[in-house]
Amino acid sequence: MIHIVGHTAIDHICRVPVLPPKNGSTRITDRKIYFGGGAANIAAGIAVLGEPVTLHSAVGDDFRGGEYEQWMNRLGIAPRFFEVQGTHTPTAFMFTDDSGDQCTFFEWGASRIFCEAEAPKLPFVHMATADPAFNVRVAEKSEFASFDPGQDVFLYRKDQLEILLENIDILFANRHEVGVMCDRLGMKPEQIAETVPLAIFTAGKEGSTLYEEGTIHKIPAIPVTQADPTGAGDSYRAGFLSAYKRGYAPPECCKIGTVTASFVVEHKGCQTHLPTWEMMEERYLAHFGNFPEVPPSARRFA
Amino acid sequence: MIHIVGHTAIDHICRVPVLPPKNGSTRITDRKIYFGGGAANIAAGIAVLGEPVTLHSAVGDDFRGGEYEQWMNRLGIAPRFFEVQGTHTPTAFMFTDDSGDQCTFFEWGASRIFCEAEAPKLPFVHMATADPAFNVRVAEKSEFASFDPGQDVFLYRKDQLEILLENIDILFANRHEVGVMCDRLGMKPEQIAETVPLAIFTAGKEGSTLYEEGTIHKIPAIPVTQADPTGAGDSYRAGFLSAYKRGYAPPECCKIGTVTASFVVEHKGCQTHLPTWEMMEERYLAHFGNFPEVPPSARRFA
């Protein structure tokens, strides 16, 4: 069982002719609601790839019986939720106008519970973006921990990042997140990578880099027609963690993550175009050739 | 039966520390969802005052089984809804920051159906803010029609306002709306009032003015501790129309409207503090003295 800790969120993606001036108003010409939140995106990706997954998130009054819960149930995600009465499930409102300008409003909502919540003790956990103090407690208790700071990276203090790096086994970060971590820790990217057994730094269309005990592997991205880059990192992690659980070597896990992400960016939304293991395998073959076999006995954290 | 035509809307009232700059983001520290929409506010007010009421609105996929529908059912509002698949119920997002600056995003959503919808033929109808062309068709078909242009006043063309004024029996407008109508029609407020049997112009804390066939009545507002002026106009109309249906003379209807509105502004939200007829009567007595009796036989549009 892979455990994922972090946000479940609801994303309202809106079009407006023009962003409103201060004390002005504007018309929404289109509003689509997408299922999101870093942790939920990763859990959904793992579930569609066929691995058992438990999601540890905070949700509000609006979650029970709603479409998002029904969707998670259909995917078979095991819920381990803090249900916080009198709050909303974390919600983001993103407005984009005809000239491409944007503004975003994010409601932390139920996720405020993380700062005071007791951390679960877990055998194999990935901590996606959420409360820094909670993630520190999870990392300290877990047997095997993976971590990405995500868009909340700026919330982490130096000492919190240091404890996390000491306690985790895998670090994921994109260029922006690596940059913030370097600033906060006074370190170079390679130095950060050396503090953990496995570090994966992603760079969008330029692919990803795996740091594995002194060895550096470069994994190219797969060229696809990109509709929306949102969710690429989350699906990469879903692919990586599913493959890692099945016993694949880290460089193979990176390729499987890359292939998984290539599906997600082809469509709008983070959970709208997730591949099954078979879909992933087929594209892997077409792109990298020679899909590696791994015996069931290789599975980790049985 | 009083029929109300216009918007049912969902209002998200949000607090943020500071409005985001272009291409920036901000945190929502509080988000409350209120039931709104001009027509729905008036219908709710009438229902709580104890008069049978039918609401003609457009709603989206998100309405059925939701909290707003349950609330309307509890109030006993008879629904006559256009349910428009693939759309949202009209929704407003209002963001206010710590320095009092605001911005508003409004999604017309399901209400787009009004422009092409067939108008019902009704004995006693109030047209609240909605599509101008639809309101024109409703006014032309109705036996007795009341109208307020509301926040959509700027959508009305000169010829549409002229047809409406020709066909309606009661006109409600606040100062801003009167101003826009004067501009568009090239008329003075008194001239507009003379085109209809009854005109009621409201002016917030300065009370309201009734124009009744050449006679002008000034009705003072009731001094209360105001928490939120939103919904004052809608509840005024709910009180007026309920009283008018019961057979009260227009100046009494204005006083009953004034008392009804005085409850609504004491609390946040447009439907959160609606008075029953008894509550209204009690405050009327305390403020205006001598609550008038009207025999059941005086009821209009039996």
Distance between CA atoms of B241 and B248, rounded to whole angstroms?
10
Cross-chain Cβ contact A19/B22 below 8 Å: yes
Across the interface, which of A20, A31, A106 has its CB nearest the CB of B27? A106
Distance between CA atoms of B175 and B208, rounded to whole angstroms?
10
Bridge partners (DSSP) of residue B23 are: none
Is B234 among the residues known to form the active site?
A: yes
A contact test, residue of B25, B62, B151, B155 with most A CBs within 10 A:
B25
Distance between CA atoms of B131 and B114, rounded to whole angstroms?
6
Q: List, edge to edge, every strand of the sheet that includes B53-59.
A: B78-83, B53-59, B2-5, B124-127, B144-147, B170-174, B198-202, B208-212, B215-219
Cross-chain Cβ contact B105/A14 below 8 Å: yes
Cross-chain Cβ contact A19/B19 below 8 Å: no
Chain A residues with CB-CB distance to B111 below 8 A: none
d(CA B73, nearest CA chain A) in Å: 20
Chain B residues with CB-CB distance to A104 below 8 A: 20, 24-26
Does ipTM come in above 0.90?
no
d(CA B76, nearest CA chain A) in Å: 24
Answer whether B109's CB lies under 8 Å from B133's CB: no
Bridge partners (DSSP) of residue A201 are: A173, A209
Answer whether A79's CB lies under 8 Å from A44's CB: no
Distance between CA atoms of A263 and A256, rounded to whole angstroms?
11
Q: Select the more confidently predicted residue: B22 or B222.
A: B222
Q: What is the CA radius of gyration of chain B?
A: 19
Global pTM reads 0.80
Cross-chain Cβ contact A104/B31 below 8 Å: no
A229 has a pLDDT exceeding 90: no
Answer whether A271's CB lies under 8 Å from A80's CB: no
Percent of chain A with pLDDT over 90: 84
Q: What is the CA radius of gyration of chain A?
A: 19
Average pLDDT over residues A84-106: 92
Which residues, including other chains, have CB under 8 Å from residue A157's CB and lie 6 or more apart?
Answer: A132, A184
Distance between CA atoms of B266 and A110, rounded to whole angstroms?
29
Chain A residues with CB-CB distance to B27 below 8 A: 105-108
What's the half-sphere exposure (Cβ side, CA atoms, 13 Å) at A81?
21
pLDDT at B174: 93
- By CB atoms closer than 10 A (0-12, 13-18, 19+), residue A302 is exposed
Chain A residues with CB-CB distance to B91 below 8 A: 28, 31
d(CA A103, nearest CA chain B) in Å: 5
Size of chain B, expressed as the number of residues it contains: 302
Question: A97-155, pLDDT tens digit by residue?
Answer: 998 888 899 999 999 999 999 999 999 999 997 899 999 999 999 999 999 998 888 88
d(CA A131, nearest CA chain B) in Å: 15
B contact test, residue of A105, A153, A176 with most B CBs within 10 A:
A105
B302 has a pLDDT exceeding 80: no
CA distances in angstroms from B247 to B5, B133, B251, listed in the order given: 22, 31, 12
DSSP structural state of residue B248: -
Answer whether A174's CB lies under 8 Å from A154's CB: no
Question: A239-274, pLDDT tens digit by residue?
Answer: 999 999 999 999 999 999 999 999 999 998 899 999
Across the interface, which of B21, B95, B107 has its CB nearest the CB of A28? B107
Size of chain A, expressed as the number of residues it contains: 302
Chain A positions contacting chain B at CB under 8 Å are 14, 16, 19-28, 31, 88, 91, 93, 95, 101-109
pLDDT at A23: 81
A227 has a pLDDT exceeding 80: yes
| Confidence class for position A302, pLDDT limits 50, 70, 90 | low
What mean pLDDT, rounded, does chain B reach?
94
Chain B positions contacting chain A at CB under 8 Å are 14, 16, 19-28, 31, 88, 91, 93, 95, 101-109
Question: B8-52, pLDDT tens digit by residue?
Answer: 999 999 999 999 888 888 899 999 999 999 999 999 999 999 999
Question: A8-62, pLDDT tens digit by residue?
Answer: 999 999 999 999 888 888 899 999 999 999 999 999 999 999 999 999 999 999 9
Which residues, including other chains, have CB under 8 Å from residue B273's CB and lie 6 or more apart?
Answer: B263, B264, B266, B267
pLDDT at B288: 94
pLDDT at B100: 85
What mean pLDDT, rounded, does chain A reach?
94
What's the half-sphere exposure (Cβ side, CA atoms, 13 Å) at B44?
32
| Confidence class for position A226, pLDDT limits 50, 70, 90 | confident
Question: B65-106, pLDDT tens digit by residue?
Answer: 889 999 999 999 999 999 999 999 999 999 999 988 888 999
Cross-chain Cβ contact A102/B23 below 8 Å: yes
Q: Which residues of B219-256 are buried (b: 16+ CB within 10 A; e: fewer)?
A: bebbeeeeebebbbbbbbbbbbbbbbbbbbebebbbbb
Cross-chain Cβ contact B28/A95 below 8 Å: no
CA distances in angstroms from A276 to A46, A50, A51, listed in the order given: 9, 7, 10
pLDDT at B229: 83
